[in-house]
Amino acid sequence: MTAAQTAPSPTPTSLPNRPLRVAVLGATGAVGQELLELLDERQFPVAELIPLASPRSAGQSLRWRDQALTIQPVEASAFDGVDVVLASAGGSVSRQWAPVAASAGAVVIDNSSAFRMDPEVPLVVPEVNPEAAFGHRGIIANPNCTTILLTLALAPLAAKRAIRRVVVSTYQSASGAGARAMEELRNLSRTVLDGGEPVSEVLPHSLAFNLFLHNSPLQPNGYCEEELKMVNETRKIMGTPELRLSATCVRVPVLRAHSEAVNIEFHEPFPVDEARALLAVAPGVELLENFEANRFPMPTDVTGRDPVAVGRIRQDLSEPNALELWLCGDQIRKGAALNAIQIAELLIQGPTATPGGAA
């Protein structure tokens, strides 16, 4: 029995087009704070906002839309009458509470890895596979940040020519490890500049003026958990279970934007100009390249912004059927909070919504 099947839900597949009761689970975290900001910025139809967090944070106050809201503890009664739950509190919390919220009639859009590979739970990037969202049974999974950014670049190309193989190297910011890791990067960078010895307490190694291979658990095949997330989630989102994909994930001293170097092999040649034209108009993508000036996407280009910037699209010199490209995207925004809210917006628009309309 899958996780989704343990909590059969009366929830309709779409959300009603009216002001909604919205719960944010994990409201005090980096992604939770971004969710609150985006709900306001995108004028999401909120009738009542219910911030939920651990008992440690319960009772504290936060401001949203000029309101002082009290953070509530997570308990079953907190989901009564809630239309949608935006969850970003970690896998163990989601496994415990998402089925409870779904049984209460809410749609749960979960940012953790708890349900991503559950065959009964849709894994959705609205610009890539919007139709999958409407097959939910109360829970929809938000993909891993690196996977979201990658699929935005792959999908427009795959719609034109089938992809044979993808090799990707990621350059992942501190934000992927949470707000405490971001603060540690700031503090340890000052320590190094002041001539001190940086000692990391949040990450396994100091990220100040340093980088290291991703610290998620290593698996028996030598890949880390983060790398296998990219493989398995990309296959599920794009509906290509046999896609050959290999990833190497690296943590780098950047605050909140991930970058990726991507090699894409097709079954036939793909003209660079054609690929560039497709990506230039792809929803959620911003083409940023100037070969004359050697100017391509950087983390600072996308920090605090919605689009995933793509550039340096070129022919692979070693393989006539392959292209190379580079991309950057804000990990907290499109890599997490924005994608979750776009899923909710898609459910309000209904199954006739187009991928472009969700961006």
What tens digit of pLDDT does each residue of 183-204 get? 999 999 999 999 999 999 999 9
Distance CA 55, CA 78 (A): 13
Distance CA 128, CA 143 (A): 12
b/e 179-193 (16+ beta carbons within 10 angstroms → b)? bebbebbeebbeeee
CB contact set of 322 (below 8 Å; sequence gap of 6+): 263, 264, 265, 266, 315, 316
Catalytic residue among 224, 249, 258, 328: 258
In the chain, the percentage of residues whose pLDDT exceeds 70 is 94
Is residue 258 annotated as a catalytic residue, yes or no? yes
The string of pLDDT tens digits covering residues 146-186 is 999 999 999 999 999 999 999 999 999 999 999 999 999 99
Closest Cα partner for 151 from 161, 139, 143?
143
Edge-to-edge order in the sheet of strand 72-73: 72-73, 46-53, 20-25, 84-87, 107-110, 139-141
b/e 123-149 (16+ beta carbons within 10 angstroms → b)? bbbbbbbbebbbebbbbbbbbbbbbbb
In contact, 46 and 67? CB cutoff 8 Å: no
Kindly tell me if the per-residue pLDDT of 1 is higher than 70. no
Question: What pLDDT, on a 0 to 100 scale, did the predictor assign at position 5?
Answer: 44
Catalytic residue among 136, 145, 249, 328: 145
Distance CA 349, CA 270 (A): 35
The string of pLDDT tens digits covering residues 261-282 is 999 999 999 999 999 999 999 9
Question: What pLDDT, on a 0 to 100 scale, did the predictor assign at position 11?
Answer: 53
The stretch 310-321 carries a mean pLDDT of 98
Q: Per the structure block, which two tokens stand in for 26?
A: 């994990």
| Sign of the CA dihedral running 33, 35, 39, 42 | positive
The stretch 99-125 carries a mean pLDDT of 97
Question: What pLDDT, on a 0 to 100 scale, did the predictor assign at position 57?
Answer: 84
Distance CA 321, CA 212 (A): 32
Distance CA 199, CA 184 (A): 9
Distance CA 2, CA 119 (A): 8
Question: What pLDDT, on a 0 to 100 scale, did the predictor assign at position 339?
Answer: 98
Q: Per the structure block, which two tokens stand in for 22?
A: 């919205």
Kindly tell me if the per-residue pLDDT of 3 is higher than 90. no
Provide the strand spans (E) within 215-359: 244-251, 257-266, 285-287, 308-315, 322-330
Kindly tell me if the per-residue pLDDT of 4 is higher than 50. no
In whole numbers, what is the pLDDT of the chain averaged over residues? 94
Q: Would you place residue 332 in the very low, low, confident or very high pLDDT band (cuts 50, 70, 90)?
A: very high
Question: What pLDDT, on a 0 to 100 scale, did the predictor assign at position 12?
Answer: 60
Kindly tell me if the per-residue pLDDT of 222 is higher than 90. yes
In the chain, the percentage of residues whose pLDDT exceeds 90 is 89
Distance CA 160, CA 270 (A): 9
Is residue 145 annotated as a catalytic residue, yes or no? yes
